[in-house]
């Protein structure tokens, strides 16, 4: 039975980011995914745009701003060939949103210019989702087309499918959380679709309105452009390919007039979002054992998080929603700092806030 220091389950941008960070501390890592390669789920379907979150100050906006600064520099330094920093124009959808945008100008975290279309942010970027994930894991041992069906903790080690042993497990499985049946891990799937098109229209930089349109790249005598993404709660809705294609093209036409369009590639996947939209990071709580010890948690009585019963060396990074390529490198850095050096994680993103909220709903 093979032994590892760390096994990461899920090879999207979250799992690949964690693998990359851990590789600075050990080479004894195994990255597992049920698909045949990295970034074949939501990460591969993502437009992978990096742009600011607009709004008045609040904890989530602060997290996105911090992550955007970190991740943009990280990609530029470590994977410069896979990031295009060309700027992004954010366009209000309607008059109401225009008023909101104008009210946010005093709270912009990044330099911007106002133009006829909207607000241009120089920091706006787009990354090659597959290229980034592949490069992050080029020195990591992987096992693809491998589905994890069982996790067992025995003799201070985790056993995966009775085949691999590891000191630590990190779950980066996106919307699929069946491996750990914990009531507080309420992850919602938001299905989206992206298309790559060839067009005779050159697009000078990224745009975002009701969808995102990427800066074009020259391909033979045309230009390659990515358009994404639709948002559906049910998988069946995103599987209506023709309707989704038309929806994306219609939304893109409200941004820029694209001529002589040919759809060349189509992607779809489910983004994982928590109930409060914050990501989920840290060591997992054993909900049943904690409630057994502190039954009065169900009545709203406060108990310090450090007293909760945890699954030993079982960690999670999940719930990054539609900002996975903005959030994941920064969050992976936080998680690995916690695992290696016990650096505290911001309470806004730990599993603890979800547990405390959900346990009060138990009758």
Task: Parse the chain into domains and list their residue ranges.
Answer: 2-46+131-187+275-359, 49-127, 193-268
- pLDDT digit string (tens) for 214-256? 999 999 999 999 999 878 989 999 999 999 999 999 999 999 9
Predicted pLDDT of residue 117 = 79
- pLDDT digit string (tens) for 265-289? 999 999 999 999 999 999 999 999 9
What value does the mean pLDDT take over residues 124-145? 97
Predicted pLDDT of residue 181 = 85
Q: Alpha-carbon distance 174 to 171, whole Å?
A: 9
**pLDDT band for position 1 (cuts 50, 70, 90):** confident
Predicted pLDDT of residue 80 = 97
**pLDDT band for position 33 (cuts 50, 70, 90):** very high
What value does the mean pLDDT take over residues 282-310? 95
Structure tokens that stand for 188 in this block? 């919602």
What value does the mean pLDDT take over residues 6-18? 98
CATH superfamily ID and name for 2-46+131-187+275-359? FAD/NAD(P)-binding domain (3.50.50.60)
- Report the Cα 169 to chain-centroid distance in Å: 19
**Burial (0-12, 13-18, 19+ Cβ within 10 Å), 312:** middle
Predicted pLDDT of residue 116 = 77
Q: Alpha-carbon distance 213 to 254, whole Å?
A: 11
Are 208 and 49 contacting, i.e. CB atoms less than 8 angstroms apart? yes
Are 327 and 71 contacting, i.e. CB atoms less than 8 angstroms apart? yes
- pLDDT digit string (tens) for 78-116? 999 999 999 999 999 999 999 999 999 999 999 999 987
pLDDT over 80 (residue 316): yes
Q: Alpha-carbon distance 356 to 250, whole Å?
A: 43
**pLDDT band for position 304 (cuts 50, 70, 90):** very high
Predicted pLDDT of residue 197 = 98
Predicted pLDDT of residue 95 = 93
Predicted pLDDT of residue 186 = 87
Residue 168 DSSP SS3:
strand
What value does the mean pLDDT take over residues 337-350? 96
Q: Please state at what angle helix 13-22 crosses helix 324-341, rounded to 10 degrees.
A: 40
pLDDT over 80 (residue 160): yes
> What value does the CA radius of gyration of the chain take, rounded to a whole number of Å?
21
Overall pTM > 0.75? yes
pLDDT over 90 (residue 75): yes
Percentage of the chain beyond pLDDT 90 is 94
pLDDT over 80 (residue 301): yes
Predicted pLDDT of residue 44 = 92
Strand locations in the chain (E): 2-9, 29-32, 49-50, 83-85, 88-90, 112-114, 119-121, 125-127, 141-143, 151-154, 157-160, 164-171, 188-199, 206-208, 212-213, 217-219, 222-228, 262-273, 280-285, 310-318
Q: What long-range pairs does 20-29 form, CB within 8 A, spacing at least 24?
A: 20/136, 20/137, 20/140, 20/329, 20/332, 21/332, 21/333, 21/335, 21/336, 22/336, 23/139, 23/140, 24/336, 25/336, 25/340, 27/139, 28/3, 28/4, 29/4, 29/5, 29/140, 29/141
């Amino acid at each position: 039975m093979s032994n590892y220091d760390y096994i990461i389950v899920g090879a999207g941008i979250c799992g690949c980011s964690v693998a990359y960070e851990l590789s600075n501390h050990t080479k004894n890592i195994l990255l597992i995914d049920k698909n045949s390669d990295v970034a074949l789920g939501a990460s591969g379907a993502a437009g992978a745009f990096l742009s600011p979150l607009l709004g008045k100050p609040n904890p989530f906006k602060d997290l996105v701003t911090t992550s955007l600064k970190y991740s943009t520099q990280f990609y530029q330094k470590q994977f410069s060939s896979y990031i295009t920093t060309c700027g992004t124009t954010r366009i209000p959808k309607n008059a109401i949103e225009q008023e909101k945008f104008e009210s946010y100008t005093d709270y912009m975290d990044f330099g911007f210019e106002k133009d006829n279309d909207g607000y241009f942010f120089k920091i706006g970027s787009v990354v090659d989702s597959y290229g980034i994930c592949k490069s992050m894991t080029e020195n990591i041992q992987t096992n693809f087309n491998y589905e994890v069906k069982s996790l067992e903790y025995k003799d201070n080690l985790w056993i995966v499918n009775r085949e691999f042993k590891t000191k630590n497990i990190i779950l980066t499985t996106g919307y699929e959380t069946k491996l750990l049946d914990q009531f507080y891990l309420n992850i919602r799937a938001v299905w989206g679709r992206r298309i790559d098109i060839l067009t005779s229209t050159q697009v000078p930089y990224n745009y975002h309105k009701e969808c995102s349109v990427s800066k074009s790249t020259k391909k033979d005598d045309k230009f390659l452009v990515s358009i994404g993404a639709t948002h559906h709660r049910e998988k069946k809705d995103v599987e209506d390919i023709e309707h989704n294609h038309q929806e994306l093209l219609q939304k893109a036409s409200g941004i820029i007039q694209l001529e002589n369009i040919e759809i060349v590639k189509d992607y779809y996947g489910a983004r994982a979002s928590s109930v409060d939209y914050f990501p989920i990071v840290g060591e997992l709580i054993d909900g049943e054992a904690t409630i057994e010890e502190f039954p009065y948690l169900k009545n709203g009585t406060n108990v310090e998080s450090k007293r909760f019963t945890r699954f030993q060396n079982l960690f999670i990074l999940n719930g990054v929603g539609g900002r996975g390529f903005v959030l994941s490198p920064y969050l992976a850095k936080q998680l690995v700092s916690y695992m290696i050096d016990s650096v505290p994680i911001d309470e806004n993103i730990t599993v603890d806030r979800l547990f405390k909220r959900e346990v009060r709903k138990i009758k």
